[in-house]
Amino acid sequence: MMTTGEKIKSFRTKKGWSQEYLAELMGYQHKSSINKIEMGKSDLPQSKLLKFAEIFGIEPQELLDISATNEKEDRHEFKSSVVTYPINTIFNLPVIASVRAGYDGVAVEEYQGFEFAYDLKNPEEYVWFRVEGDSMAPLIMNGDLALVRKQSDVDNGDIAIVIYNGDIGTIKKVIKNKNAITLMPLNSEYEAKMIVGEELNQIWIYGKVVEIKRKLN
């Protein structure tokens, strides 16, 4: 069974890439970093494992040393390159830059790549949504990724992606009253939008926000 380092080398050589080129893609300053990883002489953090998988266009599980992770009694003898991670719990989901209502209730989505998510029961029901603006600050900031479970309704108080009056989807807290729905920002500098009467027919729930991912600068 190949180690993680050996698998990285195998995928690299299949693509015809040099260690120097792969190091550049990964953000390493020297090709020696790739050589050490392939030789099993350097630690490989989870974040780097995910980036390797993204660059190779594969699932992260394909880089794991499965034989090593199954032999718990010999864990102390493993090379430092071995990364233990739950199998079949990593999913590469699409990132949506915007969403709007289309004909017959079909969402029109603008995609901008993929991002990993973990431990989802039905991954096909989820997408990432790129947040624009600071109306939900400080909980949710401009540029954050919101993991959204696609569903046509949410409970009172849930944060959701909402399409109103044919506009582009926005992220807001949904407050339900007897005859009204209020789209509530968390940032006090923004006003809430109360929707009543026939306007309720113009609101469409795209999905519920279940997780926020933020990259530190």
Q: Cite the active site residues.
A: 135, 172
Q: How many residues does the chain have?
A: 217
- 163: how many CB neighbours lie within 10 A of its CB? 19
Closest CA to 59 of 113, 120, 116: 116
> What are the structure tokens assigned to 139, written together?
């909980």
CB 118 within 8 A of CB 88: no
DSSP 34-96: HHHHHTT-S---HHHHHHHHHHHTS-GGGGS-HHHHH-GGGGGGS-TT-----TT-EEEEEEE
Per the listing, tokens 């989505």 go with 109
**Region at 20 (left for phi over 0; alpha for psi -120 to 50; beta for the rest):** alpha
